[in-house]
Amino acid sequence: MTTARRLRIRVRGRVQGVGFRPFVYATAVRLQLTGYVLNDRDGVLIEVQGVQVDALITELRERPPPLARIDAIGSDWIPLIDGESGFAVASSGQGGALHTEIGPDVGVCSDCLRELFDPANRRYRYPFITCTHCGPRFTICARLPYDRPQTSLAGFPLCPDCQREYTDPGNRRFHAESTACAVCGPRLSVDPRKILAQLRQGDIVAIKGIGGYHLACDARNEKAVARLRLRKQREARPLALMVCNLASARVLALVDDVEAALLTSKERPIVVLRARPDNGIAAAVSQELPTLGLMLPYTPIHWLLCHAAAGEPDGLEWLAQPQPLALVMTSANPHGEPLVHTDADARERLAGIADLIVDHDRPILVRCDDSVLRVVDRTPAFIRRARGFVPEPIDLGSDGPCVLGVGAFLKNTVCITRGREAFVSQHVGDLDNPEARRFLGESVAHLQRILDVRLEAVACDWHPDFPSTEFARQSGLPITPVQHHHAHVAAVAAEHGVSGPLLGLALDGYGHGDDGAAWGGELLRVDAAGFERIGHLAPLALPGGDRCARETWRCAAAALHALGRGDEIATRFASEPLAPMLRQLLDRGLAPTTSSAGRWFDAACGMLGLHWHSSYEGQGPMALEALVDDPEALDGAWRIEAGTLDLAPLLAALAEPRLAARSGANRFHGTLIAALADWVKRAATIQDIAVVALSGGCLLNRVLAEGLLTTLRAAGLTPLLPRLLPPNDGAISLGQVAVARKLLRAC
């Protein structure tokens, strides 16, 4: 084609505040096209005229700016305009830029990294370097529209040099709302070289990051790590590490191609990897677990620390070479409360923990933890979803009212819908402390402001006493309570776009059932806005109620009792002073019961002598999973009657005297997978449904998740695992809004 034509192009998606207009401008100029580009309420509007208009469309589709997300490109041929010259960035539709969507916080881009380490660049070693392709968004934006006065950069007027870049449509900092330099921008309170020196001498340093403070120390220094654990009172949970680059990560852990892509992605999550033996990392980092949670640098401050540790070499070669630096970088959340994110809070709450507090004067407007993922079935799976991914929307497939989902209790999130999109908040955490309950309110308010929506309804858990349920009641909005496991399954259906009936296998710790009982090992049929409980795990007694989640021997005692072997409780758990009393409690049938899958895991741990007293929920089961090297299914070690799956025979096999923990772990996992698959397959035949949602915190267990996927696929079924959200209660808020919107539509 050699004749000039004119095209009007409409681009929808996340195309504002991501350098889209400079990209179109530069491309159009290069292709010798005339016309204009502008932002408006619907996204980006382009008119181009010239010979190579098709090439522009190709560029848009194939090489958009890194942070753009194009949902749709539409185009129409329009009449040529005579005498047009040049390409312009036109002023926006109404009232300046209208950024309708705010992106997540992402790591430093390669262009900024090059400038950061270029002595000739005016931002050489500037700890807040950023551009339209990188840096913070979600945590620095107060409300829509995303313009500098609405961000935490409002107090930093641009210097003439920055202003020139900001107004130059050919510059990658054109309308980069968070841009700054050493002349006009935020400042770091301590030089990175000094931070490194203190870390090297074994000190604990609190460092202000993107969504809050980290507590850092030298991960190779056993004493420093032990001191950090002691001061933070973070008993036994594994600590995350930061290393300089992929080559350094490979020295410490086994990294396959999927894991490598995840580690180096712009989202920069913590990735749980298999640790290499004798890697020099302090044993106190992961305790008994054979894994390491690793992440790579994502702020300029992290990069400056790495550069200092590498001896401040010239050039960029060091970025690809293994570096010995390994830092513990754990969220500064004393006593399990939410992350510390304000400077005043840091001084008050971290004073007794950190030897040095490093802050800066760019405020964090909303806290946001690091995200944590693991690769399951060669695909990333969330353990915790926060920085880098929030507020990325999930497409619900159709429009509906604006609904808030307030989640449940543990590992909580909230969710707000706008049109056909659902925005799940960052990880809020367990609502067992006032600070977390405050964070719940903050998260709702912040999401509402950055989405610019008015709520029409609220959905909550069935549990009447959860703080989230109370929050829903006080909102003054019409309330839709949604059953816990129904929400789990609905969340998986929503993210996978399943609209028809499906089976749901929900395996978790606890959820309130419609009979008021404790549920947690549920086989549901979910259809439209309703669900039917077609099966559940055989109930297990909970002698001591909530204490069972932290004392695995209690669940094992309950399982023994259920096997008619109550006599063995006192001798088997002889070191437990309460064992005889527990026996009496069970004999008299006074203990509440639960169908929870989590408690069957605990019972297995208790039977095998693992973590009779654990310091956090899931510690025993994680240790159990870590032992598995060759899962083995025991024939006939389960019973299915009237939809109920009973694992008592499996527990009997684990009660064998002198059974090695590793054999027990292999038998438990292998048999559990076979039993669950048998149960699901029978239900699939009876219900004539092939799609099965797998959800609940137990699916964080990779052996279980991969085993179920493989077995169910082999049976011709379509198992679905959560991919956009974690399988645990972090997904409940999405399930709640999905169900509530269907109910509201039905009214």
Q: State which H helix or E strand residue 422 sits in.
A: strand 421-424
* 87: Cα within 13 Å, side-chain hemisphere: 25
Least gap, CB of 160 to Zn ion (angstroms): 8
Task: Tell the burial category of 632 from Cβ atoms under 10 Å away from its Cβ (0-12, 13-18, 19+).
Answer: middle
- Read off the tokens for 743: 């109910």
Least gap, CB of 168 to Zn ion (angstroms): 14
Least gap, CB of 59 to Zn ion (angstroms): 20
Least gap, CB of 178 to Zn ion (angstroms): 10
Least gap, CB of 161 to Zn ion (angstroms): 5
Please identify, among the stretches 159-167, 334-342, 350-358, 424-432, the one whose residues bind Zn ion according to the rule CB under 5 A.
159-167
Least gap, CB of 107 to Zn ion (angstroms): 9
Residue placing its CB nearer to Zn ion in the complex, 65 or 592: 65
Residue placing its CB nearer to Zn ion in the complex, 162 or 674: 162
Q: What contacts 113, CB < 8 A, 6 or more positions away?
A: 303, 316, 319
Phi, then psi, of 461 in degrees rounded to 5: -75, 160
The DSSP symbol for 493 reads: H
Contact status: 162 vs Zn ion (CB under 5 A): yes
What span, in angstroms and rounded, lies between the C-alpha atoms of 47 and 62? 19
Contact status: 528 vs Zn ion (CB under 5 A): no
Residue placing its CB nearer to Zn ion in the complex, 78 or 183: 183
What span, in angstroms and rounded, lies between the C-alpha atoms of 346 and 713? 50
Please identify, among the stretches 18-26, 112-120, 215-223, 456-464, the one whose residues bind Zn ion according to the rule CB under 5 A.
112-120
What span, in angstroms and rounded, lies between the C-alpha atoms of 18 and 130? 12
Contact status: 661 vs Zn ion (CB under 5 A): no
Contact status: 157 vs Zn ion (CB under 5 A): no
Least gap, CB of 264 to Zn ion (angstroms): 16
Contact status: 112 vs Zn ion (CB under 5 A): yes
**Exposure b/e, 405-437, CB count within 10 A at least 16 = b:** bbbbbbbbbbbbbbeebbbbbbbbbebeeebbb
Contact status: 67 vs Zn ion (CB under 5 A): no
The DSSP symbol for 539 reads: P
Residue placing its CB nearer to Zn ion in the complex, 162 or 684: 162
Please identify, among the stretches 83-91, 110-118, 403-411, 472-480, the one whose residues bind Zn ion according to the rule CB under 5 A.
110-118
**Site of tokens 């070479």:** 321
Judged by CB under 5 A, the residue of 18, 24, 181, 737 near Zn ion is: 181
Q: What contacts 95, CB < 8 A, 6 or more positions away?
A: none
Q: Is residue 178 classed as helix, strand or coil in its secondary structure?
A: coil
- Read off the tokens for 610: 């693992």
Judged by CB under 5 A, the residue of 51, 90, 154, 159 near Zn ion is: 159
Least gap, CB of 126 to Zn ion (angstroms): 9
Residue placing its CB nearer to Zn ion in the complex, 136 or 664: 136
Contact status: 153 vs Zn ion (CB under 5 A): no
Contact status: 134 vs Zn ion (CB under 5 A): yes
Query: How many residues of this chain interact with Zn ion, rule: CB under 5 A?
Result: 10
* C-alpha angle 266-267-273 in degrees, rounded to nearest 5: 105
Least gap, CB of 28 to Zn ion (angstroms): 22
The DSSP symbol for 718 reads: E
Q: What contacts 526, CB < 8 A, 6 or more positions away?
A: 486, 489, 490, 493, 501, 502, 503, 504, 693
Least gap, CB of 322 to Zn ion (angstroms): 25
Contact status: 558 vs Zn ion (CB under 5 A): no
Residue placing its CB nearer to Zn ion in the complex, 181 or 739: 181
Least gap, CB of 450 to Zn ion (angstroms): 21
Least gap, CB of 181 to Zn ion (angstroms): 3
Identify whether 401 is preceded by a cis peptide bond (ω within 30 of 0): no
Judged by CB under 5 A, the residue of 44, 45, 68, 109 near Zn ion is: 109
Residue placing its CB nearer to Zn ion in the complex, 158 or 694: 158
Please identify, among the stretches 109-117, 228-236, 663-671, 689-697, the one whose residues bind Zn ion according to the rule CB under 5 A.
109-117
Judged by CB under 5 A, the residue of 78, 183, 230, 660 near Zn ion is: 183
- Read off the tokens for 406: 């307030």
Least gap, CB of 331 to Zn ion (angstroms): 25
Residue placing its CB nearer to Zn ion in the complex, 19 or 380: 19
Please identify, among the stretches 48-56, 81-89, 130-138, 685-693, the one whose residues bind Zn ion according to the rule CB under 5 A.
130-138
Least gap, CB of 706 to Zn ion (angstroms): 37
Contact status: 184 vs Zn ion (CB under 5 A): yes
Of 19, 168, 170, 44, the C-alpha closest to 103 is 19
Please identify, among the stretches 174-182, 276-284, 409-417, 725-733, the one whose residues bind Zn ion according to the rule CB under 5 A.
174-182
Judged by CB under 5 A, the residue of 125, 133, 229, 446 near Zn ion is: 133
Q: Which residues on adjacent β-strands are paired with residue 429?
A: 412
What span, in angstroms and rounded, lies between the C-alpha atoms of 326 and 319? 15
What span, in angstroms and rounded, lies between the C-alpha atoms of 427 and 414? 8
Please identify, among the stretches 124-132, 456-464, 555-563, 728-736, the one whose residues bind Zn ion according to the rule CB under 5 A.
124-132
Contact status: 373 vs Zn ion (CB under 5 A): no
- Read off the tokens for 669: 């996992």
**Beta strand extents in 597-643 (DSSP E only):** 639-641
Residue placing its CB nearer to Zn ion in the complex, 131 or 717: 131
Residue placing its CB nearer to Zn ion in the complex, 92 or 179: 179
The DSSP symbol for 458 reads: E
Q: Which residues on adjacent β-strands are paired with residue 424?
A: 415
What span, in angstroms and rounded, lies between the C-alpha atoms of 680 and 687? 10
* Residues 220, 223, 224, 230, Cα dihedral to 10°: 130
Contact status: 176 vs Zn ion (CB under 5 A): no
Residue placing its CB nearer to Zn ion in the complex, 159 or 659: 159
What span, in angstroms and rounded, lies between the C-alpha atoms of 539 and 517? 10
Contact status: 66 vs Zn ion (CB under 5 A): no
Residue placing its CB nearer to Zn ion in the complex, 131 or 216: 131
**Site of tokens 């009447």:** 464
Please identify, among the stretches 15-23, 101-109, 303-311, 460-468, the one whose residues bind Zn ion according to the rule CB under 5 A.
101-109
Beta-carbon neighbour count of residue 337 at 10 Å?
18
DSSP code string of 229-283:
HHHHT--SPPPEEEESSHHHHHHHEE--HHHHHHHTSTT--EEEEEEPTT-S--T
CB contact at 8 A, 453 and 357: no
Please identify, among the stretches 31-39, 184-192, 417-425, 532-540, the one whose residues bind Zn ion according to the rule CB under 5 A.
184-192
Please identify, among the stretches 175-183, 201-209, 435-443, 490-498, the one whose residues bind Zn ion according to the rule CB under 5 A.
175-183
Please identify, among the stretches 66-74, 93-101, 104-112, 522-530, the one whose residues bind Zn ion according to the rule CB under 5 A.
104-112
Judged by CB under 5 A, the residue of 46, 60, 131, 523 near Zn ion is: 131
Task: Tell the burial category of 687 from Cβ atoms under 10 Å away from its Cβ (0-12, 13-18, 19+).
Answer: middle
Binding residues for Zn ion (CB under 5 A): 109, 112, 131, 133-134, 159, 162, 181, 183-184
